[in-house]
Structure 1
Amino acid sequence: MPTLILLFLPFLFHLFSPILPFPSPTCFAYNTSAGLVPGKLNVHLVPHSHDDVGWLKTVDQYYVGSNHSIQGACVQNVLDSLIPALLADKNRKFIYVEQAFFQRWWRRQTPSIQTTVRHLVQSGQLEFINGGMCMHDEATAHYIDMIDQTTLGHRYLKQQFNVTPRIGWQIDPFGHSAVQAYLLGAELGFDSLFFARIDYQDRAKRKVDKTLELVWQASKTFGSSAQIFTGAFPENYEPPSSNFYFEVDSESPLVQDDIDLFDYNVPDRINDFVSAAIAQANITRTNHIMWTMGTDFNYQYAHTWFRQMDKFIHYVNQDGRVNALYSTPSIYTDAKYAADEYWPVKTDDYFPYADRVNAYWTGYFTSRPALKGYVRMMSSYYLAARQLEFFKGKSKSGPKTDSLADALALAQHHDAITGTEKQHVANDYAKRLSIGYKEAEKLVATSLACLSQLSSTGECQIPAAKIQQCPLLNISYCPASEVDLSDGKDLVVIVYNSLGWKREDVIRIPVFNEDIFVQDSTGKKVESQLLPVIDASLSFRDFHTTAYVGVSPKTIPTHWLAFSAIVPPLGFSTYIISSDKGAAAKSGRQTIYKSHQNATVEVGPGNLKLIYTAHDGKLARYINTRTSVEEVLEQSYGFYSGNDGSVDYQASGAYVFRPNLTYPIRPEWPVLTTVLRGPLLDEVHQKINSWIYQVTRVYKGREHAEVEFIIGPIPVDDRIGKEVTTEITTTIQNDKRFYTDSNGRDFIERIRDYRKDWKLQVNQPVAGNYYPINLGIFMNDNTRELSVLVDRSVGGSSIRDGQLELMLHRRLLHDDSRGVDEALNEIVCVQDECIGLTIAGKYYLRIDPLGEGAKWRRSFGQEIYSPMLLAFTLQDKNDWTMSHLKTFSGIDPSYHLPENVAIITLQELENGKVLLRLAHLYEIGEDKDLSVMATVELRKLFPEKKTIKVAETSLSANQERAEMEKKRLVWKVEGNSKGEKALRGGPVNSAKLVEDFDSLGLNWRWSAFTSEQEVCEGTSAILMTKIEELVERKITQRRRDEPPETIMRILYIEILQFPLIILELEYIVVRAFVAEYAA
């Protein structure tokens, strides 16, 4: 910018001018009242403390300051010392982020201190930014969890302080996602987003181009309508150089301004300040720069920081070359906006992240896979538990879901789900999840018992049925189903479906008896199948049950029972398992193929056929008889040996993936391939080696393959850490291109050895091409596409054309020098026996004709995230059927959600209010049939509830949408970045009202619509007139060139006797509503 260069020339001249000593102050009242000065470089000093909610210490240890031998950090001290420091000078400011800490502190304060803090918040001295319970990760967290943890913090701040955070502050996560920018940024009402960690090559180029700050348009569907101003810091989230740290034990030189004492240094320190300011200004657009004054767990004695900043502001402004002021990111953002600058545009994301050569932070995409799987399992359970709590009705006395909500919120922290914490901290996160689950489990059991109970009064009585669940079903342990039914008892299985569509799935549970059969709720026999429980599964089950539960299993299941369940949307069906030798389930046919056989083996009872070669047990071909897709398909395992850092001190560790060599894992000889066949599914069992076992399943009614793996303990007797992968190989010619999801939402194109924003210098051809995967990865060519979906966060890539690779497990022996100071070497102990961690997980694969894979990825992806919830009770089937509902749905029996819409939140709040979030699952152009506007009838979602009012809100439900949109900043950008107009949902004009509703067979004349904050109310006699007047007025008010409706428009509807409410959902968006229901 030419004007900016001219502005800085005097500053550069003054750097070499002599500065006279400042006179010794006669009093110690420094002038800190500086505001923004036009035409001068403004240095915004932003005091902050970055407080991890767990990393080297647990969240509670960090708060109280215990376990000091690991780290001297005490957040309680930070907040205690902050308040008097702010009160000492009204110009001082501070920002705070982590609500998990602040809420701990706030609950212990006196009413007087709480009043004081409220005044500090109202005056702007203390500002809450980001506002979630933690600073969540952006690579391994699912978007539903990111929304939930943010909502917990935002609603608390609204209730306690009536504030709505407007700044995103993701300063420490290790790379940044597109979903964070548009969904957890723009859709929260944030005006800007700031962070520190971007690739070192990217940062270097942006410094030269002055593009560290930009406008991020992360959604290809919404473009400029979901943009957010974004700033990456020049280095880290700390002060600009080592000369400006002022914690008690910091080594930076203090401003010594008493000339009666030795070491008077005011001129030198002011020169240091001005030099650092101008250096940053020369890589920044406009005359505003931000200094992040603080770092991890700073301000434990806040006066040490503020005293020095007071002096700098006082003396720097006396010097006059630059202007220094206390500031916040909000003030800084407003100053940037007021500068009327044109900004560059970014449209992709900031993955992967490397902080130097050979140091790609892509290992944490997979680190601690068991914890990642546990978090995902608890996330889906929390979603279902909140639904059941809503249908039953929230009880003040409990049980509740609050404990699980808090535990899940902490688990999203960027040193929690990432797997980059110390082992004892990972244990703490898991413990909190377990405690939360236990309470939620009681809620689910009570809700299912009440909802299934027939009562003449219509009220839920004290449940007589003992409802049990099986949280360790993933390791084949389920005491509730492993019961002896030979004595005449029946096992009632309640299957709950948390999705908004009717669903059919195969249920698999371990059982004790062989002579059993299954009936549905009408008494009709259901087709079922028995499969033997394998030895590998039993040994895995026995050891880990003892480790996690503390007791050995009392029974040994003989078989898996599989049966097909059909469950209504947001509802349950019941199935009854009984013993009868004459009507037992079919046992699968078992065939063992040995290595000397040369035949091929066809597996699959339905449209999908997998072809194996018998002599080596390898998968060879994939055939779909319905779609006529036939493809060479191979699947194998391998591992990367972890670099030990002996050459350049960069080892592979919890954060960094630094492979040394690649080794294929060859199956042990002779290869035994066991095939189990039956009417519902076929299974292929393969022992790959002594520490990898795999089961591949093909279901009759499905067109994908399910691969279940047991990996571990990874051997390290050779002193080599290993990072285990699976490779799926085809002949698809994807030309280096593949696609990975962003936090379970948008799919982003990746190109091997390429970055969109700079010319990549390739130094790690494997690690530098790894990306985070939460939902799935796919690749395609001109005719076909291969998709792989996962059950937890993993890292993956396409390292070779035609091949997709997933990293499933890691065990390493060296620390990667990023602060955790501990090797990623997880072990599990039973008494004195400790072994390396073994994990059990699944992934799913499918090959489709080009353009037809999105429907499976989106629909089945929802099923993976929200598996059927199973509950069991041992009853007499006749007594049960006479006293209980056979099936239940919270949705009108004649209705279900559209295929492209999902309910991601249904939660009863307070005072009869309910939070509902609906998500459109498809991006624009993703699917020819389902990438379209969707219509939802809210009234039919909950027919048993009388709706009083519905208001559309921000994503975190802390403000109405209309209010948020009025405050939104619209930034000027370079070039033409508008592209196609974003298609938005919302109220429609009268012509479209008739057309759209008629096409769906709806009686549009009884539909109530309103926009912004207008309320349509009245009796049915005058309803039609009022709607017509409202629509006509709105059409008249709107200009023909008005931009499309905003992403989450406020819909505020008063419902009296209206039979239905219609909403339109735009592509890939999540919309939040707060509804009030009559008691």
Structure 2
Amino acid sequence: MGIGNCDSSNSRLNQVINSTMRSSRWLRCRPFSNRFLIVSLLAIAFGLYCCYYNVSTTSFSKQGNNNANERVIALKHIRAPESVKMEQCPVVRESVAEVDTVSVFPTFEFQPNWLRTKEFWDRSFEERYEKTKNDSRRPKLKVIVVPHSHNDPGWLKTFEQYFETKTKNIINNIVMKLNQYPNMTFIWTEISFLNAWWERSHPVKQKALKKLVREGRLEITTGGWVMPDEACTHIYSLIDQFIEGHVWVKANLGVTPKIGWSIDPFGHGATVPYLLDQSGLEGAIIQRIHYAWKQWFAQRQIEEFHWMPGFSSTKPSLVVHNQPFDIYSIKSTCGPHPAICLSFDFRKIPGEYSEYTAKHEDITEHNLHSKSKTLMEEYDRIGTLTKHNVVLVPLGDDFRYEYGIEFDAQYVNYMKMFTYINQHKDLFNAEVTFGTPIDYFNAVKDRSANIPTLRGDFFVYSDIFSEGKPAYWSGYYTTRPYIKIVARQFEHQLRTAEILFTLVSNYLRQSNKHMFESSERKLEKYYEQLISARRNLGLFQHHDAITGTSRASVMYDYGTKLFTSLYHCIRLQEAAITTLMIPDSKLHTQSILQSELEWETYGKQPKKLQVSIVDKKTIVLFNPLAERRTEVITLRSNTTNVRVYDTYNKNYVKYQITPNIHVQENGKFAISDVNFDISFVAQLNAFSIVTYKLEEYTNHTQHCTVFCNNCTEQKGDSEKPNNFVIKKMMPGNIQLENNIMKLLVDRNTGFLRQIYRKDIRKKNIVDIQFGAYQSAQRHSGAYLFMPDYDPPEKDVLGPYSKGNNQDENVIIVSGPVSTEITTMYLPFLVHTLRIYNVDDPALSHGIYVENIVDFENPPKNRDTEFYMRLQTNIQNGDTPEFYTDQNGFQYQRRVKVDKLGIEANYYPITTMAWIQDSETRLTLLTNHAQGAAAFEPGRLEVMLDRRTLYDDFRGIGEGVVDNKPTVFTNWLLLEPINERAKADANSRVSRHFNERRFNTDTAPIYELPSRTADFLSRSLNYPVNTYIVDTSEVGDVEVKSNQEFLENFPPGIHVLSLRTITDEVLEQFPSSSCFMILHRPGVSCDIQDGMPKPTASFTSNSKFIGLNINDIASVSLTGLKTYGNLTSLANITLNPMEVKTYRVRF
């Protein structure tokens, strides 16, 4: 045995010697010989390689020592344009990483032997610990204990209730006790709470807190307005709440956040790390990931990684740290054994009894050694989960440290042990201190050179620590869809208000006209409400808000806040547009413009205002997208005698008159003779305001034809002729068609069965079905989704169906603009399919799907998980795969894990999902967050609503029974895949090879939505804003026909926001600068559609109309760091998928 080892060693030694000799021969070469030239080229290449990666090296610096790191970020940012792909349809490749979650996750053992013990720490981990603890080569154990208090801005109580009863006292204690204990530290994450405390605190306390921050003893982590959810949030809202928090921190505390702290969201995705990296943060800490991932990382001693986005990009500077155990409470953070960790929670409040008070034992001279030894053994065990032997130990829990005596108890007891351990290096060989996350990352940087890369995400999250068996947190993707939809609609209205405020207020200021002074002052008054709206939207991104996982009373409080701010945003829009479009400045203070949607109260759907035609009625439209669009605008009217005039192009436009139908007591459908819908085709340029007029005109050719077996026309005047032709439906299945496609609809159900694409002569089965899973009682709730597998899926429509006479509940309405079919299972479901007869490549290719769902009052439809299912003949694999968006920003391939049930194969979507094979793709676009699955081949399924009678034992203590009538809107696209385009893309990528991008030429093409899907998704989430000119109080009013704001802006660039920056001196007042946040969405070139290829190039002719730009600077995503000044918009460049922020001063 020994001889074999010796021979092996000699052999290796000889290999090294021979290799060295060969290398030396290469170096002994004549000048300008071939050998010399080759060596020189290799040396130059190696030097460039080292230079680049030296610039890209992650650096963790203490707050205040930022210059070097900012130079690094600036260099990286300046270099980016070298590799910018400016083609109209550039190839985007998948990122390459050492760990791919999609590939690794299905290989796990999901029912390991340790499951019932709830601890992955088994004999193998203990043996590794025993082996390494005496290894003299191993770095000394370094432990950083981080006191923290997790403060939810709403959960069991409202934001205000928590602040008054808990959080106010916690922050007061931080200020007082950290001054009392000079070597204690703390962190704070939720800026929404910190702002509430700041506004109510004495300047002396404010200065004391700033001093702690400046010293680095109180670290501001993440710095967002909240700790956001990562599954249900949309990119606009995520960025907006980060900006609101970061700007507040910089303005009030004078620092920039360095480390992210995201310990409570229920699963983690790649978007938030990307945004934090773009914001200049250096590290991030995550907590809740699947129990099998916890074990896998621990086995491989991986607790840090660079998280790559799904698309090819340079390696992020941000380092992500995964906390190795279940949750962030002291019970689970001091080591792998919760029973031991409980005894190291020294909180003892009179009258309070819990599992940790039962084990409470203060540190005394009698137990100091034994307790220190036990604690260090646990810390040592954590250390063996990494190679660097640095340990981060959070010390806190929900709303901890609200009592000063807890601060005292935790500090005094831990300091006794820390002092003893640090003084007895012969016994422990460790260093233990209080610290903050930046201390941890600095220590890791000093010891760890090679941090691996990871791509993918950590959805679906599953815990086992509650019951000792897997529980999948996929229910909250869908829970309370009504408020999820309201939040997205509010996001749209806030974004529109931001854009209009920035453009109009600066236009008024630069015009320098006396007549605009009152208008300018009026807009300034709205700015305070705009700030409040930003903060209310930010508050709702909290991981117990947009998820729907707070108590019903708290959700109602969130909803009323959203409605209040939504109202203010619409009033701001009306005032801004009035100022621009009404030439008579004396009328600018009047409420002349009114939004055509009326938002009455939370819990109800918005209503359309009825347009009363008296001679002429003026309609004003605003396009909030920076791209030209064609839209069908629908208004509510009291007459059918009307036509629509485009005042800018000076022509009459295509329109139709559609009946309003309601159900009578006898069950028959009545066509109203006083309410009608006018739908007309409008064309709008980027960021433009246009005016249309409704004129009285009699022309029945624009009236729709109604096909219905159960309809009558309701007439107040029996002498009056019918407004609409009503026909009986012909026998057999129903067909709807336009010039692009033909839909086959089942006559008995009213649901889609088949789509035939006439332009490519291809037929596909697309069978829409509705059903529900029976909830597993007490295992399915606000957070968890768990179906009861014993009974079959529920036929929820059966009780609402007319059986063989269901076609009596089917209505077809056909007109020159659109054709639609509506089927009713009243009051539970009203389902509508609509296709457009419009010469537009987007509208004509899409199928508009609307579902109005009403669960009625409980106990009806109890324990119901209601879905819409699309069953197709698309061959997406025997082990099905599909694609989901992530936060409306990037896209992720999902592969069914056969070992797991449907609850573990449901994934979050926020804007879209699709299935595809080599020939066809089916895409479903949505306007809110919900769960989606592809559990069987050819199937795409989305959850619509959920009612669970019982709690799922994850904290809120109640079921979800506050369902509200909800309108779901979707686009459905069936698109052919161009295989030749894919082949061409593979050849093109070699011509755009970039060696800095981790050999991405070998990576697969990154699957992206088609141009049509990308455009319709934005149109769905950011619809045209419609306003009615009310002249009832002021008489005839002149209205401009058109106002445009952009010229030669590239349509391939999406303007995420134009966000006015608050004045540095005058709080609550606007400055003349804004953050212009741009996103270049990636689109697939493999899908055949008629959409033009969007350019992403700014030119010297790109400008804001009527506005002069004084200066423009490239800044970090949240605007805290300036990278450099630009001479004009023409200098802006973005790679596909990239998001960048520019500070523009008008």
TM-score range for the pair, normalised by the shorter chain length: 0.7 to 0.9
Q: Which residue of 1 aligns with 2:1098?
A: 936
CA separation in 2, counterparts of 1:60 and 1:389?
A: 29
Change beyond 3 A, Cα 1:38–1:61: farther
Deviates more, 1:557-566 or 1:500-509: 557-566
Aligned to 2:1115: 953
Which residue of structure 2 lines up, in the alignment, with residue 579 of structure 1? Answer: 696
Q: Aligned equivalents of 1:1068 and 1:814: distance in 2?
A: 42
Moved more, 528-537 or 85-94: 528-537
Equivalent residue in structure 2 for 1:722, among 848, 858, 864: 864
Confirm whether residue 662 of structure 1 aligns to residue 793 of structure 2: yes
| Residue 410 (structure 2) aligns with | 305
Secondary structure at 2:273 match in 1? helix
How far the C-alpha of 1:738 sits from its partner, in A, is 0.5
For 1:371-415, what per-residue CA distance to the aligned partner results, in whole angstroms no more than 9, with x for missing partners? 000000000111111111012207433354112111100110000
Report how far residue 743 of structure 1 moved: 0.6
Partner of 2:119: none
One-letter amino acid of the counterpart of residue 1058, structure 2: L
SS in 2 for 1:206: helix
1:843 pairs with 2:948: no
Q: Which position in structure 2 is the counterpart of 1:783?
A: 919
Q: TM-score, normalised by structure 2?
A: 0.75
1:185 Cα deviation after fit: 2.3
Residue equivalent to 2:632: 506
1:421 to 524, 539, 550: 550
Determine helix, strand or coil for the equivalent of 1:169.
Answer: strand
Q: Is 1:863 matched up with 2:990?
A: no
1:767, distance to aligned residue in structure 2 (A): 0.8
Alpha-carbon offset, residue 778 of structure 1: 0.4
Q: Distance in 1 between matches of 2:833 and 2:861?
A: 32
For residues 537 and 750 of structure 1, the distance between their equivalents in structure 2, rounded to whole angstroms, comes to 46
Q: Which residue of 2 aligns with 1:706?
A: 848
Is 2:309 the partner of 1:218?
A: yes
Please say if 1:887 is aligned against 2:887: no
How far does residue 932 in structure 1 lie from its aligned partner after superposition? 9.1
Task: Evaluate the alpha carbon distance shift between residue 802 and residue 75 of structure 1 in structure 2; reply closer, same or farther with a 3 A threshold.
Answer: same
Check conservation: 1:775, 1:790, Cα contact below 8 A.
yes
Equivalent residues in 2 for 1:594-673, closer than 5 Å: 598-645=731-778, 650-660=779-789, 661-664=792-795, 665=797, 667-669=801-803, 670-672=805-807, 673=810
Q: What corresponds to 1:731 in structure 2?
A: 873
**Cα distance, 1:315 vs. partner?**
2.0
Residues 397-412 of structure 1 aligned to structure 2 (within 5 Å): 397-398=525-526, 400-412=529-541
Aligned match of 1:901: 1053
Shift in CA distance, 592/842, structure 1 to aligned 2, threshold 3 Å = same
Change (3 A) 1:460 1:291: farther
Cα shift at 1:479: 6.7
Between the aligned partners of 1:1062 and 1:729, the Cα distance in structure 2 is 48
Preserved CA contact (<8 Å) 1:403 1:439: no
**Distance of 2:138 and 2:785 partners within structure 1:** 45
Of 97, 109, 114 in structure 1, the residue corresponding to residue 206 of structure 2 is 114
Q: What is the rounded CA distance, in whole Å, between the counterparts of 1:97 and 1:319 in structure 2?
A: 35
The unaligned stretches of length 5 or more in structure 1 are: 15-36, 66-73, 541-554, 755-761, 828-836, 963-1012, 1014-1051
The one-letter code sitting in structure 1 at the alignment partner of 2:1050 is: L
Is the CA contact 1:521–1:576 (under 8 Å) kept in the aligned structure 2?
Answer: yes
- Tell me: CA distance 1:257–1:422, structure 2 relative to 1, closer, same or farther (3 Å): closer
Matches within 5 A, 1:82-121: 82-121=174-213
Confirm or deny: 8 A CA contact 1:573 1:888 kept in the other structure: yes
Structure 2 counterpart of 1:251: 357
Shift in CA distance, 642/216, structure 1 to aligned 2, threshold 3 Å: same
Q: 1:10–1:638: structure 2 CA closer, same or farther, 3 Å change rule?
A: closer
**How many residues in Structure 1 have an aligned counterpart in Structure 2?**
902
1:445 paired with 2:574, answer yes
The answer on whether the counterparts of 2:232 and 2:910 sit within 8 Å (CA) in structure 1 is: yes
How big is each residue's C-alpha offset from its partner over 1:100-142, in whole Å with a ceiling of 9 and x where there is no partner?
0000001122222222222111110111011011000000000
Q: Partner of 1:199 in structure 2?
A: 290
Match of 1:1074 in 2: 1143
Match of 1:56 among 134, 137, 156: 156
Asked if the contact 2:363–2:413 (Cα under 8 Å) also holds between the matched residues in 1, the reply is: no
Cα distance in structure 1, aligned partners of 2:126 and 2:390: 14
Percent of aligned positions that are identical: 22
Distance 1:651 1:583, change over 3 A: closer
Change (3 A) 1:161 1:930: farther
Using structure 1 for the length normalisation, give the TM-score. Answer: 0.79
**Deviation readout 1:451-476 (Å, 9 max, x if unpaired):** 10225x8x994346243441449999
**CA distances 1:602-623 after superposition (whole Å, capped 9, x unpaired):** 2133312211243553422212
Aligned residue in 2 for 1:529 = 656
- In terms of mean alpha carbon deviation, does 462-471 or 946-955 score higher? 462-471
* RMSD over equivalenced CA pairs, Å: 3.1
Match of 1:332 in 2: 440
**Structure 2: how far apart are the matches of 1:926 and 1:197?**
37
**1:1053 aligns with one of 1122, 1126, 1132:** 1126
Pairs within 5 Å for 1:197-596: 197-225=288-316, 228-239=319-330, 240=334, 241-249=341-349, 250-251=356-357, 256-259=362-365, 264-301=366-403, 302-320=407-425, 321=428, 322-356=430-464, 357-393=469-505, 395-398=523-526, 400-454=529-583, 461-463=588-590, 465-472=592-599, 481-485=609-613, 488-522=614-648, 524-535=651-662, 558-580=675-697, 582-583=698-699, 586-592=702-708
* 2:232–2:887 CA contact under 8 A, matched in 1: yes
SS in 2 for 1:1061: helix
The alpha-carbon deviation at position 188 of structure 1 amounts to 1.5
Higher mean C-alpha deviation, range 611-620 or range 842-851: 611-620
Greater helix percent: which structure? 2
1:806 Cα deviation after fit: 0.5
CA distance in 2, matches of 1:257, 1:810: 50
The alignment partner of 2:679 has SS state of strand
Structure 2: which 5+ runs fail to align?
1-124, 335-340, 350-355, 506-519, 711-727, 839-843, 982-1008, 1064-1070
Which one-letter code corresponds to 1:190 in the other structure? L
Which amino acid in the other structure matches residue 1133 of structure 2?
E
Letter in 1 for 2:702: K
Distance 2:1100 2:156 in 1: 46
Contact 1:694 1:708 in 2 (8 A): yes
Q: SS of 1:242's equivalent?
A: helix
Does structure 1 retain, via aligned residues, the 8 Å contact 2:175–2:209?
yes
**Contact 1:605/1:680 (<8 A) preserved:** no
Question: Partner amino acid for 1:576?
Answer: K
Contact 1:531 1:561 in 2 (8 A): yes
Deviating more after overlay: 715-724 vs 80-89: 715-724
Matches within 5 A, 1:825-840: 825-827=961-963, 837-840=964-967
Aligned CA distance change for structure 1 residues 796 and 1072 (closer, same or farther; 3 Å) = same
Give 1:538 deviation, angstroms: 13
Q: How does 1:151-170 map to 2 (within 5 A)?
A: 151-170=243-262
- Report if the CA contact (8 A) 2:628-2:685 is conserved: yes
* CA 1:603–1:155: 2 relative to 1, 3 Å: same
Q: 1:875 to 1:524 in 2, by over 3 A?
A: farther
Question: Residue by residue, what CA displacement relative to the aligned partner does 1:408-435 show, whole Å, maximum 9, x if unpaired?
Answer: 0011000000000000100011111111
User: Contact between 2:604 and 2:965, CA under 8 Å: does it hold in 1?
Assistant: no
- d(CA) in 2 for partners of 1:462 and 1:712? 41
